[in-house]
Chain A
């Protein structure tokens, strides 16, 4: 039955056509059911990971490192992408429990509403480790530990670097914020303000939201350049690298040289910002480490060995990178994202 007969011939009765369509439908269904028929009965740990989704390069890198890390440690990883929906995450966690996994990693899409399902995991004696984000619960016994970055510290690291870079010179700073309302944004702002408050020569003169996107970051920077007197902006701080890449574009289009005329510092450590640093267009980035799952595996393995509960919050380092290592870092990361 080729497509030409199927679609072209007028002689096929409606019934025949329907029967053929039924056949195709069944084939597709059975094909999709058969697509993953190798059930792994490996010895060793089985860990379920409920991921939020794959909305950004950073998250894709986190997933990739989760898979790689599991393989290196001989862990069987059951991965579930929740497509940004909490109900899918709850379903996944319940399925992991029903399956009897040894541990569950959860990157929660929202902060509330986890008590019930985590209570079930606890009742089944399955430890849960939170990744990347904290949850809002009165009962912290529901999870073993949370592996996240310290978002206030990220802002502080950026601010301290800038204070060291400009020394005693007067510096007017503009800030491109992330999406207003997220706790992450409030924290990155707070940390940065704390750090520059110690230096009286640093002034945060303007701040606006670039919604974490390149396009909006560029737009906001264009606005800043028009609003401020020519040559008066000394540095720009962006809450993520993507907005900074947009801002760099805007600075170039205004006829200035980013990285020299205007200093830049941003957060995340995505490959493109390392490329910009290697090209001399950016000055610094604070990395949000994507290797949260491998850290969680190590905590888990240690916990299973000596049964000593880990601290409730394991902070990933907020390391600052400058142009000197940028080319090497870019080469190391470009395949992860």
Chain B
């Protein structure tokens, strides 16, 4: 056991094991899935989901949730299509504009949560309806984007051996994960996010400006949703208001499968990355099979989520029983932990950044 077997690394380890296991089963059955082409496809096809998962991880680590990301992504794609196709804006300017609007939207959401003391679930649900409604108001049709620069960006890719391609959007996703990891595990802001998610009250007592952190966290998440919208519009070279319906739940699933606790305070983006890949892999496998209903993807994801929640619970209980003398940070705040948590809480917040 020792230092690496704590509440943070164990779920991540379980996620990696499950990924390798599923990949092994897939490869044994369909050797074509071993190739770099399928790997490249996985990264490209799930780029938008990965970027959403980075934002979602930060929100969930901070103890919140954001249901509006799919709608913000959809709104971004339509807004981009209108700005570039209708208003004739150059793509770079349109990108900057939608990113700024995304950040602003998230700031509003975060402010509503903090100042109205409203549950994040309700506020972001409202935001979801708002964003989706705006998107449909702009256009109910899918709008193709005909722009030379856009085509170049969408087609930009490194050719991998074996017919695979590492596309620009996949690269953006990988960079986003890297940036998310640094933000969460290597900055003071990241430490504040962990402290806020661990226990908001104690975070406040420690002198952390919880309001500012909450607002920044949601601004970051919506910014990521807008970036995901840009990536999606490059992916399809069009904008459509119903893009990303229900995708916020896929992002939350990826985050949970990745070992981030929905109660906050524990987690990281590396696990979310694997969580995204697992979902993509299951869908690929089902398509390769070609006889199963693709709704099996949902069933498999449901089973996996259940498995991971059970694993997390098991680890929490085990670490509460036997883990006192262990080196890892104590279990995060769950109702039965509340009494023993205070002493260990600050060290948990401080220990987390170094654990990546």
Q: Interface residues, chain A, CB within 8 Å of chain B? A: 14-15, 18-19, 21-22, 24-26, 28-29, 32-33, 35-37, 39, 48, 76-88, 90-92, 94-100, 110-116, 119, 124, 136-138, 181
Closest chain-B Cβ to A34's Cβ sits at a distance in Å of: 9
15 contacts across the A-B interface (CB closer than 8 A): A14-B317, A15-B314, A25-B308, A26-B307, A28-B303, A35-B292, A35-B296, A77-B290, A78-B287, A87-B48, A94-B41, A94-B44, A98-B35, A119-B155, A181-B140
Kindly list chain B residues whose C-beta atoms are within 8 Å of the C-beta of A81: 293-295
User: Of B45, B142, B293, which is within 8 A of A110 by CB?
Assistant: B142
Say yes or no: A29 contacts B303, CB within 8 Å: yes
Say yes or no: A110 contacts B146, CB within 8 Å: no
Q: Interface residues, chain B, CB within 8 Å of chain A? A: 18, 22, 25, 29-30, 32-33, 35, 37-38, 41, 44-45, 48, 140-144, 146, 154-155, 163, 232, 235-238, 240, 243, 245, 280, 283-284, 286-296, 299-300, 303-304, 306-308, 310-311, 313-314, 317-318, 321
* Bound Cα distance from A88 to B232, whole angstroms: 12
Say yes or no: B141 contacts A79, CB within 8 Å: no
* Bound Cα distance from A114 to B154, whole angstroms: 12
Kindly list chain A residues whose C-beta atoms are within 8 Å of the C-beta of B154: 116
- Lowest 3 A-B CB distances belong to which pairs? A78-B290, A113-B236, A25-B307
Q: A83 and B294 in contact (CB under 8 A), knowing A22-B307, A39-B30, A95-B288?
A: yes
The residue in chain B whose Cβ has the minimal distance to the Cβ of A179 is: B140
Kindly list chain B residues whose C-beta atoms are within 8 Å of the C-beta of A37: 29
Say yes or no: B287 contacts A80, CB within 8 Å: yes
User: Of A22, A28, A80, A138, which is within 8 A of B311 by CB?
Assistant: A22
* Bound Cα distance from A267 to B12, whole angstroms: 55
User: Of B236, B291, B296, B311, which is within 8 A of A32 by CB?
Assistant: B296
Task: Given A29-B300, A33-B22, output 5 extra A-B contacts at Cβ < 8 Å.
Answer: A25-B306, A78-B291, A91-B45, A95-B283, A137-B144
Kindly list chain B residues whose C-beta atoms are within 8 Å of the C-beta of A96: 287
The listed residue with most B CB atoms (<10 A of its CB), out of A33, A83, A98, A137, is: A98
Kindly list chain A residues whose C-beta atoms are within 8 Å of the C-beta of B144: 111-113, 136-137
Q: A90 and B236 in contact (CB under 8 A), knowing A85-B245, A95-B284, A95-B288?
A: yes
Closest chain-A Cβ to B82's Cβ sits at a distance in Å of: 13
The residue in chain A whose Cβ has the minimal distance to the Cβ of B246 is: A85
Kindly list chain A residues whose C-beta atoms are within 8 Å of the C-beta of B33: 98
Say yes or no: B318 contacts A91, CB within 8 Å: no
* Bound Cα distance from A35 to B295, whole angstroms: 13
Kindly list chain B residues whose C-beta atoms are within 8 Å of the C-beta of A33: 22, 25, 300
* Bound Cα distance from A48 to B235, whole angstroms: 21
Kindly list chain A residues whose C-beta atoms are within 8 Å of the C-beta of B283: 88, 91, 95
